[in-house]
Amino acid sequence: MLRKPIFLAALLSMGVLAACAVEKGPSSYSPSGVKADHPALSEAEKLTPCFECHKEATPELYTEWYQSGHGLDSVRCFQCHGTYENMKRVPDEAVCSVCHSGEFHRKPAGTSCWQCHPEHSFSAHK
């Protein structure tokens, strides 16, 4: 299927900007496990690491991630958000517990990880 590049870029920007609006909201509780509405990708486009497009589509998010501990240690987008078919705009919190099991079980009840550790930059505490 041929695709017009400008259309693709526009779709990417729209989809991700919508996602940003939720992810980057004020320090309110963010729900987890919110399914994403990523624009359709061709099979070949699916063979591109997420950050390669998001470097341009959402440069601020990309930079936050790239400069974070996750970025330095090559924790990829799909590890938290899933990949195309099962992608979550806001990840299931359980995914944090894969690596941060101790912290996950110690955090106060009713709070999300990213209330204290801002998503993508993952600084120590907000």
Partner 1 sequence: MGLSRREFIKRTAALTAASCAGVSLTLPQAEEAQAFDADEWVRGSCRLCGVGCRVELGVKNGRPVALRGVPDSKTNFGYLCMKGMLFYKLMGHPDRLTKPLYRKSKKDKFKEISWDEALDIAAREFAKAVKTHGSDSVAYYGSGQALTEETYLFQKVMRGGLRTNNVEGNPRLCMASAVGGYLTSFGADEPIGSYADIEQATCFFLIGSNMAEAHPVLFRRVMRRKLDNKDAVKVINADPRISPTSRVADLHLQFEPGTDLALLNAMAYVIIEEGLYDEKFIGQYTTFRMGKKEEVSFEEYRSFLRDYTPERAAAICKGNITPDKIRTAARWFAKSNATMSMWTMGINQRKRGVWANNLIHNLHIITGQLMKPGADSFSLTGQPNACGGVREGGGLCHILPGHRLVKKDKLRHQVEDLWGIPRGRIPAKPGYHTMAMFTAVNQGKIKAIWINCTSPAQSLPNADLYRKGMAREDLFMVVTDIFPTKTTELANLVLPTAFHFEKTGVYGCTERRSQLTWKAVDPPGEAKPEVWIVREWALRLAKELDDPVIAKCVAPFVGKEEQYELPEAIWNEYTQKLTKGRDNDLRGATYRVLRQRPDGVQWPAPTEEWALKGGTYKKFVRGMDPLADEHAKDEKPYQFYGPAHPDKKLWIWLRPHKGPEEMPDAEFPFYLSTGRVIDQWHTASMTGRIPELMRANPYAYVEVNPRDAKRLGISPGDMILVESRRGRNLLPAKVYEGPVEGMVFVYWYDQHEDRLINRVTKDAFDPGSKEPEFKICACRIKRVSGPKVLKPYLASITT
**Segment near partner 1 (CB under 8 A); pick from 18-26, 94-102, 111-119:** 94-102
CA distance 56 to 15: 13
Q: Say if residue 90 is exposed, middle or buried (CB neighbours under 10 Å; 0-12, 13-18, 19+).
A: buried
Could you tell me if 103 and 114 are in contact, meaning their C-beta atoms sit under 8 angstroms apart?
no
17 binds partner 1 per the rule CB under 8 A:
no
107 binds partner 1 per the rule CB under 8 A:
no
Can you give the binding site for partner 1, defined by CB under 8 A?
1-3, 5, 8-9, 33, 42-49, 52-53, 55-56, 69, 72-76, 78-79, 82-86, 88, 92, 94-95, 97-102
